[in-house]
Amino acid sequence: MSDLAIAAKGLRKSYGDKTVLDGIDLAVPEGTIFSLLGPNGAGKTTTVQILSTLITAGGGHARVAGHDLATEPQAVRAAIGVTGQFSAVDGLITGAENMRLMADLHHLGKQEGQRVTARLLERFDLVEAANRPASTYSGGMKRRLDIAMTLVGSPRVIFLDEPTTGLDPRSRHTMWQIIRELVTTGVTVFLTTQYLEEADELAHRIAVLNNGTIAAEGTPDDLKRLIPGGHVRLRFTDPGAYRAAAAALTAATGDETAQTLHVPHDGTQRDLHTLLTRLDAAGITADELTVHTPDLDDVFFALTDAPATSADAPANGAAPTKETVR
Amino acid sequence: MSTLSLAVRDSSTMLRRNLLHARRYPSLTLNLLLTPIMLLLLFVYVFGNALSVGIGGGGGPDRAAYIAYLVPGLLLMTIGSTTIGTAVSVSNDMTEGIIARFRTMNIHRGSVLIGHVVSSVLQSLASTVLVAAVGLAIGFRTTHATPLEWLAALGLLALFALALTWIAVGMGLISPSAEAASNNALPLIFLPLISSAFVPLHSMPGWFRPIAEYQPFTPAIETLRGLLLGTPIGHNGWLALAWCLVLTVLGYRWSTATFNADPK
Ligand SMILES: Nc1ncnc2c1ncn2[C@@H]1O[C@H](COP(=O)(O)OP(=O)(O)O)[C@@H](O)[C@H]1O
Ligand SMILES: [Mg+2]
């Protein structure tokens, strides 16, 4: 077990009578990117808060970087770096002052502190903004400062809670690049995201969290193998036709705003024929029909059984949802 | 590194952070400083003639004697007023994401609060120096104070500031917002109004006197008066020290227990 950066068994947490985590197990090998994937409210942040010693679990136990969370929290803290879902910078002082604060709290000497902070400011493209109050930074800059601060102590295990939520596409790709670079130095990254594309892109292993339990765990390929087929995507321009199709195809999941339906499909000609016959019988014509081979979207929808008209569920893993964080 | 040197090192880092905040955003502290200064001027120049009758011992109004009477109370009131700012800034700070970061770092657990407390005590003392300067400008003179008594006076102010600051930190920690914090901390500015700061105890109605006499401000005010003006201190010295000690211990335990609980 010594090669596991994070090993958790039966983690539980409830608030009042609401159970947020209902016994989750995690095993994250050292030097890998692990992604906890789940919709809003699944319990991702709660998991990160427990594993990073911010809150105590209601049950279960876990070891992070070889130390027990409950009995050696300071040893865990010495080994980890956390970039939470919400900005963890001091907005009242400048970026450089935030960095110096971290260097002082990690007890780096004056010269080493200066060297480390200068290098990180440079690496995260914050040199120009270094002497401005952090509250004036854009979302992407704040995130970069946040991660730069996390890296000052050279943590061995890094937690990133939805690091790209609310970022524009360019900042998001920059962030992906940063995350990939992190593991080249042997650190372990525990990443949460609502975006399937992101987990698929970055993670060696993915756990799908839904309603406080791990619905599936494995490599991206393992997960794709979990469901036999892909789906057929139907797009409508006429809301009446969309509603009629949603009613006729009970197996479909839909996105009302995008006027699209996803119908599970096992990849056979017969299955496709059945679908077309049903549409014909109901007198429905889709404006666009595409056949998709299985991808993580399908896994996600199959495992989290998103309701057919839910506006919260991302219709496509790549599409950012409405959630805005800062 | 030993626990103590770790504690000192992290606390002084946090203190630097808090002093940076205070220096960059001084408006709250300065606004709170206006209250005691305005009260001083108001009581001396507007109500002074009526209230000072009998204080100087001569029977008629005596402005110089009333200024001497007022300044010690207002110095302590300045501390109460400054610590309202402490409650507000602690409450604000707890909403800053960086506090969550501190909680997940291998630093001395108490350093975040100690940084706030030391910074706030320093601000309190700086504010009392400013109020004392206004007092001197309008004619406050100590009569007998020896250097030792000056030192004791300074020590009393520091202890009193420490005690009220720990209470204010606790108030800030339990307050969900800055407004709630300043409401919760109101007693810190209200108590001096019902102490012997403005009028002597013997001029208050009998049923009210015990309340005014034994609340924290009155013994501290009487002790400070004794040190600076040579009036009798009596049991007030011990009472003031006891209050400082009790409030410091209670405030410290309350604040650290609140801070160490899982954040909401
Ligand atoms: N401090 C809290 N008190 C009460 N409920 C909470 C608290 N923190 C989180 N929750 C609830 O727990 C659930 C999971 O939250 P969270 O871990 O933030 O999910 P995610 O990060 O996956 O969006 C949500 O329903 C949320 O409302
Ligand atoms: Mg979250």
DSSP secondary structure of A215-264: EEEE-HHHHHHTSS-EEEEEE-S-HHHHHHHHHH-TT-EEETTTTEEEEE
Whether A55 sits inside 8 A of B98 (CB atoms) is no
Mean pLDDT of A276-284: 89
Q: Is the pLDDT of residue A73 over 60?
A: yes
- Which token pair is B219? 């013994």
pLDDT score for A25: 95
Mean pLDDT of B102-127: 94
Reported as type and span, the H/E element at residue B95 is helix B63-95
pLDDT score for A227: 66
- Which token pair is A82? 């956390």
Contacts of B192 (CB under 8 A, 6+ apart): B73, B76, B77, B80, B217, B221
What pLDDT band is residue A325 in, cutting at 50, 70 and 90? very low
Name all domains of chain A by residue range, CATH numbers in brackets: 4-89+137-223+299-324 (3.40.50.300), 231-293 (3.30.70)
Residues A74, A68: Cα–Cα separation, whole Å: 10
Please state, for a pLDDT cut of 70, what percent of chain B lies above it. 96
Cα dist from B54 to A184, B51, B66, B197, whole Å: 82, 8, 10, 15
Atom 18 in ligand 1: which residue has the minimum CA distance? Answer: A45
- Cβ atoms of A61 and A206 within 8 Å: the answer is no
Q: Is the pLDDT of residue A291 over 90?
A: no
pLDDT score for A250: 84
Q: Does B27 touch chain A (CB under 8 A)?
A: no
Chain B residue numbers with beta carbons less than 8 Å from the beta carbon of A91 are 96
pLDDT score for B57: 60
Domain that holds residue B192: 3-260
pLDDT score for A310: 35
Whether B103 sits inside 8 A of A84 (CB atoms) is no
Q: Which ligand has its closest atom nearest to the C-alpha of A325?
A: 2
HEC string of B189-234 equals: HHHHHHCCCCCCHHHCCCCCHHHHHHCCHHHHHHHHHHHHHCCCCC
pLDDT score for A162: 93
Distance A156 CA to ligand 2 centre (A): 22
- Which token pair is A10? 């039966």
Per-residue pLDDT tens for A206-244? 999 988 899 889 998 888 777 666 788 999 998 888 998
Q: Which of A99-103, A120-124, B162-166, B202-206 has the lowest mean pLDDT?
A: B202-206
Please state, for a pLDDT cut of 70, what percent of chain A lies above it. 90
Q: Which of A79-83, A97-101, B55-59 has the lowest mean pLDDT?
A: B55-59
pLDDT score for A36: 95
Burial of B4 (0-12, 13-18, 19+ CB in 10 A): exposed
Residues B146, B167: Cα–Cα separation, whole Å: 32
CA nearest A313: which of A178, A211, A195? A195
Reported as type and span, the H/E element at residue B94 is helix B63-95
pLDDT score for B27: 84
Query: Could you give the angle at the alpha carbon of A207 between the alpha carbons of A20 and A57, nearest 5°?
Result: 35
CA nearest A153: which of B115, B107, B19? B107
Q: Is the pLDDT of residue B232 over 50?
A: yes
What pLDDT band is residue A40 in, cutting at 50, 70 and 90? confident
pLDDT score for A114: 95
Mean of pLDDT over chain B: 89
- Which token pair is A313? 């569920």
Q: Does B21 touch chain A (CB under 8 A)?
A: yes
At A108, give phi and psi (nearest 5°): -80, 145
Q: How many CA atoms lie within 13 A of B4 on its CB side?
A: 0
Mean pLDDT of A175-181: 90
Give the count of domains, chain B: 1
Distance A84 CA to ligand 1 centre (A): 14
Residues A313, A210: Cα–Cα separation, whole Å: 12
Residues facing A158 on adjacent strands = A81, A189
One-letter identity of residue A36:
L
Per-residue pLDDT tens for B143-195? 778 889 999 999 999 999 999 999 999 999 999 998 999 999 888 888 988 88
- Which token pair is A111? 């010269």
Cα dist from A198 to B98, B172, B196, whole Å: 26, 40, 67
To the nearest whole angstrom, how far is the Cα of A198 from the nearest Cα of chain B?
25
Q: Does B96 touch chain A (CB under 8 A)?
A: yes
Give the sign of the dihedral formed by CA A168, CA A173, CA A178, CA A182: positive
pLDDT score for B103: 94
- Cβ atoms of A105 and B10 within 8 Å: the answer is yes
pLDDT score for A304: 67
CA nearest B39: which of B242, B198, B161? B198
Q: Which of A12-21, B63-72, B82-91 has the lowest mean pLDDT?
A: B63-72
Facing A55 at nearest CB: one of B102, B107, B262: B262
pTM of the model: 0.82
What pLDDT band is residue A95 in, cutting at 50, 70 and 90? very high
pLDDT score for A1: 44
Q: B167 or A172: whose pLDDT is higher?
A: B167
Q: B264 CB less than 6 Å from ligand 1?
A: yes
- Cβ atoms of B134 and B67 within 8 Å: the answer is no
Mean pLDDT of A3-16: 93
Q: Is the pLDDT of residue A312 over 90?
A: no
pLDDT score for A321: 34
pLDDT score for A308: 35
Mean pLDDT of B208-212: 85
Q: Does B148 touch chain A (CB under 8 A)?
A: no
Dump the DSSP string for A171-223.
HHHHHHHHHHHHHHTT-EEEEEES-HHHHHHH-SEEEEEETTEEEEEE-HHHH
pLDDT score for B49: 75
Q: Does A153 touch chain B (CB under 8 A)?
A: yes
Residues B97, B94: Cα–Cα separation, whole Å: 8
